[in-house]
A and B are shown apart, each in its own frame.
Chain A
């Protein structure tokens, strides 16, 4: 008898128990899942690392030899890498203790049409990108009249490359070359 009364009470309790309709529950579940999914996608997408802008591995330039006479610095630059090179940035130091080359001497290149704006020097004929092929070499002449004595030069190769459908000049910062040179 007691069991019957207990069952009757439980039946009435469950009959009048409140809850969210199943349909509404489905709507809310799908909605929140979709919204959170889209938000997380947008947030993560901007954090996806893209390939770093850099020259291909194997790009390289070397300074073969140099001479300095009456403020004229002449050196031969050679592409000893596997990829074409388009130009270079050139800096010099004016102190033997200075480790960082900060004097931009690109404007002192005697071949004015090779000088890039705002800085740097093009290699090869004008108008041709990445003109210095592997094993090619070119003689560079710099007139350092009016400058203090320089003790070293640093050269950073440049390449024209297509990055994200845009053509741009890329500095091969990993293959920077430094040469001790005394020239006044």
Chain B
């Protein structure tokens, strides 16, 4: 008799409520955590730009105070950082700012860069490619890892 009067939810309603609550809480937590993580920069669609650095192919030489860079590869190089290493110090220059010869849209496939007005004080330089990718907040540049993709030249 006591059990007949005990109130409770129908199992169907309980299941629906369970699923609904799970989905709602999942969405809330998802968007909250997503806002805390660093957004990914992609290139060529949905490929992470860090992987695209692997496909960058360029050649460079520094002779007679002239810096030459060619891009015979398939990845456009938006910019180039030049890390000049001297005795006990180093400085990093952005070719886009240091040189008026650097193309505004970057060094595309087959492009050649040449500049004889740059002076470097150091014993060697490392050229580090900079790529342009897409992120949720718009276009962003990405500097490829120096250790893996830097191109070393003696000054």
A residues whose Cβ falls under 8 Å from a Cβ of B = 23, 26-28, 30-32, 34-35, 38-39, 43, 45-47, 49-50, 52-54, 89, 91, 95, 97-104, 118-120, 156, 164, 169-171, 173, 176
By the criterion CB–CB under 8 Å, are A31 and B74 in contact? no
A35-B33, A38-B30, A39-B34 known; A46+B22 contact, CB < 8 A:
no
10 interchain residue pairs of minimum CB distance:
A119-B110, A100-B61, A46-B48, A102-B68, A31-B25, A89-B110, A53-B74, A31-B26, A156-B72, A34-B26
Residue from the list B21, B109, B112 in contact with A91, Cβ < 8 A = B112
Q: Which residues of chain B from 114 to 142 have any CB-CB distance to chain A below 8 Å in the complex? A: 114
8 further A-B pairs in the complex, CB-CB below 8 A; given A27-B22, A104-B110, A173-B72:
A28-B25, A30-B22, A43-B37, A46-B46, A47-B48, A170-B74, A171-B110, A173-B57
Report 18 cross-chain contacts, Cβ distance below 8 Å, ordered by A residue.
Answer: A23-B18, A26-B18, A31-B29, A34-B22, A34-B26, A46-B48, A47-B48, A49-B51, A50-B44, A53-B55, A101-B70, A102-B70, A102-B112, A164-B45, A171-B74, A171-B110, A173-B72, A173-B73
By the criterion CB–CB under 8 Å, are A89 and B72 in contact? yes
| Chain B residues touching A, majority SS | mixed
Contact with A along B52-92 (1 / 0, CB 8 A): 00110101110100001010111100000000000000000
Q: Closest CB-CB distance, B32 to chain A, in whole Å?
A: 9
Q: Which residues of chain B from 15 to 43 have any CB-CB distance to chain A below 8 Å in the complex? A: 18, 21-22, 25-26, 29-30, 33-34, 37, 40, 42
Taken together as a complex, chains A and B put the C-alpha atoms of A164 and B110 apart, in Å, by 21
By the criterion CB–CB under 8 Å, are B46 and A45 in contact? yes
A27-B21, A27-B22, A170-B74 known; A39+B33 contact, CB < 8 A:
yes
Residue from the list B40, B42, B60, B109 in contact with A171, Cβ < 8 A = B109
In the assembled complex, B106 has its CB within 8 A of some CB on chain A: no
In the complex, chain A residues whose CB is within 8 Å of the CB of B74? 53-54, 170-171, 173
Give the residue among A47, A102, A164, A173 with the most B Cβ atoms within 10 A. Answer: A102
Residue from the list A28, A34, A54, A91 in contact with B70, Cβ < 8 A = A91
In the complex, chain B residues whose CB is within 8 Å of the CB of A39? 30, 33-34, 37
By the criterion CB–CB under 8 Å, are B114 and A102 in contact? yes
Taken together as a complex, chains A and B put the C-alpha atoms of A119 and B18 apart, in Å, by 63
In the assembled complex, B47 has its CB within 8 A of some CB on chain A: yes
Q: Closest CB-CB distance, A19 to chain B, in whole Å?
A: 19
In the complex, chain A residues whose CB is within 8 Å of the CB of B61? 98-100, 102
In the assembled complex, B99 has its CB within 8 A of some CB on chain A: no
By the criterion CB–CB under 8 Å, are A35 and B108 in contact? no
In the assembled complex, B111 has its CB within 8 A of some CB on chain A: yes
Taken together as a complex, chains A and B put the C-alpha atoms of A120 and B50 apart, in Å, by 29
Q: Closest CB-CB distance, B27 to chain A, in whole Å?
A: 9
Taken together as a complex, chains A and B put the C-alpha atoms of A98 and B63 apart, in Å, by 8
Taken together as a complex, chains A and B put the C-alpha atoms of A39 and B42 apart, in Å, by 17
